[in-house]
Amino acid sequence: MSSSFIGSKIAIVTKSQYRYVGTIIGIDSQASSILLGNVKCFGTENRIGNFSNNQVVGSLVPIMQFANSDIEDLKIVEEEKTGE
């Protein structure tokens, strides 16, 4: 993933089956990780997960770092279009 994706909104599903949506604020190729800002956790959403931590579901976290090895799926999220 190149630095041209910085500022893009993405959805990540981790190996523990939790989904997070946030904005890419950094990519660390040496640490093989992605840094997201304004991250919202959606929980497992009925996926079978490895652990249960319902305290973070629905919460907004200012910054989170995800190791590439912990990411199962990653997608660019299209911004909602507003009628002009």
Are residues 53 and 44 in contact, defined by beta-carbon separation less than 8 angstroms? no
What residues does each domain of the chain span? 8-48+55-78
CATH of domain 8-48+55-78: 2.30.30.100
Tracing tokens 């893009």 back to the chain, one arrives at 8
Cα–Cα distance between 22 and 41 in angstroms, integer?
9
What pLDDT, in 10s, does the model give residues 41-78? 998 888 776 655 555 788 899 999 999 999 999 999 98
This prediction has a pTM of 0.81
Phi-psi region of 74 (alpha: psi -120 to 50; beta: other; left: phi over 0): beta
Residue 36 β-bridge partners: 24, 64
The residue ranges of DSSP E strands in 1-84, in sequence order, are 9-14, 19-28, 33-43, 60-67, 71-76
